């Protein structure tokens, strides 16, 4: 008799343990609340056979259900946080664009509105050779027109025009060649783009005192006719003196980043 009684107790314990294990597995693998409820309804009468042990199991199952609800609330809150972060990022982007647009409009006013503000609609990120703007010859854009940034930095010149768009060849393009001037001096030189990411300046007077960090300015004839202040080109990064020491050469870091450009101001050479 005692053996039979012991077996009944052991069976109840086994059933209780198995029930807890089943519900834990279901919770770990994300089984639907509905299915867990159905199993709960089926197993609860069985668990009631173990009196106090069954009550404890029921409490554990309720705890598991509550934990599942908490997890769902956490996921919902995560979605709200992600949505707010995306909204904030978009607002910061708009603020930056508005600031850039205000600066370039202020620059346009400072030169008696002689320039045309245009949007950049495509960029050569890989080669650093060109950008595409949203206005063309129907808006008065012509080949040879000059593009500068809101910070009065030379971006390049127009080299291909369609009715509603135009390509600007960047100062870093290997096809770009133009005259420059060492800021604060009368030392003229010739600049050309280098590999789409820098500018090489050649034929600098050997006696010119050029240092890293010096700035070169745009000095083509139109810079005198169009601009009250000569646009900047870039900052000296490296200096080279040939063996003959008749001249110097330097490499410049351009004073713009096409990734950050959204607008440019176009100056027409035929003003």
pLDDT band, residue 271 (cuts 50/70/90): very low
pLDDT of residue 7 exceeding 80, the answer is no
pLDDT band, residue 25 (cuts 50/70/90): low
- pLDDT tens-place string over residues 101-155: 666 656 655 555 567 889 999 999 888 899 999 999 999 999 999 999 888 899 9
Tokens representing residue 129 in the block: 């050779």
Q: Which residue has the higher pLDDT, 192 or 114?
A: 192
Mean per-residue pLDDT for 181-207?
Answer: 92
Backbone dihedral region for residue 113 (phi beyond 0: left; psi -120 to 50: alpha; all else: beta): left
pLDDT of residue 159 exceeding 80, the answer is yes
- Strand, coil or helix: 191: strand
Domain edges within the chain: 1-110, 115-267
pLDDT of residue 218 exceeding 70, the answer is yes
Mean per-residue pLDDT for 53-69?
Answer: 64
* Side-chain half-sphere exposure of 267, counting CA atoms within 13 A: 26
Residue 243: the pLDDT is: 78
Most confident range (mean pLDDT) of 34-38, 69-73, 104-108, 231-235 is: 231-235
Map tokens 């600031």 to a residue: 99
Structural fold of domain 115-267? Thrombin, subunit H (2.40.10)
pTM of the model: 0.62
Mean per-residue pLDDT for 84-105?
Answer: 62
Tokens representing residue 270 in the block: 């035929």
CB–CB of 239/212 below 8 Å?
Answer: yes
Other beta carbons within 10 angstroms of residue 5's beta carbon come to: 9
């Amino acid at each position: 008799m005692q053996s039979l009684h012991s077996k009944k107790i052991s069976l109840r314990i086994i059933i209780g343990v198995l029930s807890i294990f089943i519900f834990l597995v279901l919770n770990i693998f994300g089984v639907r609340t509905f299915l867990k409820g159905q199993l709960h309804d089926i197993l609860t009468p069985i668990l009631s056979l173990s009196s106090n042990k069954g009550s404890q199991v029921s409490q554990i199952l309720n705890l598991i259900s509550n934990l599942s609800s908490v997890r769902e609330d956490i996921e919902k809150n995560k979605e709200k946080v992600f949505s707010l972060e995306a909204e904030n990022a978009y607002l910061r982007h708009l603020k930056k664009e508005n600031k850039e647009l205000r600066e370039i409009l202020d620059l346009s006013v400072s030169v008696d509105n002689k320039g045309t503000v245009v949007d950049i609609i495509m960029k050569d990120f890989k080669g650093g050779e060109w950008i595409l703007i949203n206005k063309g010859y129907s808006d008065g854009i012509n080949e040879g027109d000059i593009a500068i940034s809101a910070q009065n930095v030379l971006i390049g010149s127009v080299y291909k025009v369609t009715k509603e768009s135009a390509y600007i060849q960047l100062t870093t393009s290997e096809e770009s060649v133009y005259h420059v001037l060492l800021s604060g001096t009368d030392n003229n030189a010739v600049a050309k783009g280098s590999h789409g990411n820098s500018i090489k300046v050649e034929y600098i007077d050997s006696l010119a005192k050029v240092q890293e960090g010096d700035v070169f300015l745009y000095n083509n004839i139109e810079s005198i006719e169009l601009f009250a202040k000569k646009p900047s080109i870039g900052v000296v990064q490296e200096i080279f003196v040939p063996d003959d020491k008749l001249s110097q050469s330097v490499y410049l870091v351009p004073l713009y980043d096409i990734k950050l450009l959204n607008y440019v101001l176009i100056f027409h050479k035929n003003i």
